[in-house]
A and B are shown apart, each in its own frame.
Chain A
Amino acid sequence: DAGVIQSPRHEVTEMGQEVTLRCKPISGHDYLFWYRQTMMRGLELLIYFNNNVPIDDSGMPEDRFSAKMPNASFSTLKIQPSEPRDSAVYFCASRRNRGGGYTFGSGTRLTVV
């Protein structure tokens, strides 16, 4: 089991550029979650999917953020255009069933300058 795989691990980009973060969940897990972690706000849930369908995107901060899950093994989180306040660590997590714990990826550290 390779765990949840995120790429890239680090991303530095200039303000205004498009950023795409990628996630491969654990095979067989039917829930996928995107979180953002900052010192000020801690872990914030951005959006989650069940069986590739977005269920709750109420945590997505603005229209600049979008997420897709075209199939059970891949999801993307896109920020366009990026702003310095988007700098944070973005985590992807997956889970097999509704009541269990999540398995997190190692995160993508995004810096927007």
Chain B
Amino acid sequence: GQQLNQSPQSMFIQEGEDVSMNCTSSSIFNTWLWYKQDPGEGPVLLIALYKAGELTSNGRLTAQFGITRKDSFLNISASIPSDVGIYFCAGHGSGNTGKLIFGQGTTLQVKP
């Protein structure tokens, strides 16, 4: 089946640094989504991308839908301690099955 490969698996950075993570797939995805999960909570949608090449920002977060439709990245600028959590990419693949496929997640830790 369709799978998403997300990297890096974890990151430990200093407050103020910029962060970049990405997701790749061997097949085309029609939608890319980025979620953040805080400890003890469910994932929360950060950014949704619907068109190849689309670049969307949400505050300090920026995400892009790759031109090939097989990848996406998420950047966080000037990280702060509350950025700590697990970030998931997700996408709708071909076949209009209606279900999202999730990456394995990137665990982000920010040192004050």
Contacts and interface: CB of A to CB of B under 8 A. Distances in A.
A103 B43 CA distance: 8
Contact of B98 (A31, A91, A105): A31
Nearest to A107: B42
- The number of chain B residues touching the other chain, given as a range, is 20 to 34
A45 B98 contact: no
B5 interface: no
Contacts of B41: 106-107
Interface of A: 4, 31, 33, 42-43, 45, 48, 50, 55-56, 91, 93, 98-107
Majority DSSP secondary structure for residues of A touching B: strand
Given A33-B99, A42-B104, A55-B98, A104 B48 contact: no
A100 B45 CA distance: 10
B96 interface: yes
B69 interface: no
A56 to B, nearest CB: 6
Nearest to A102: B100
Contacts of A107: 40-42
Interface in B86-108: 88, 90, 92, 96-100, 102, 104-105
A9 to B, nearest CB: 9
Interface in B44-68: 44-45, 48, 50
B97 A56 contact: yes
Contact of B44 (A48, A98, A104): A104
6 closest residue pairs by CB, A with B:
A104-B42, A101-B45, A43-B102, A101-B33, A42-B104, A98-B98
B75 interface: no
A93 B96 CA distance: 18
B25 interface: no
A48 B99 contact: yes
Contacts of B43: 43, 91, 104
Nearest to A91: B42
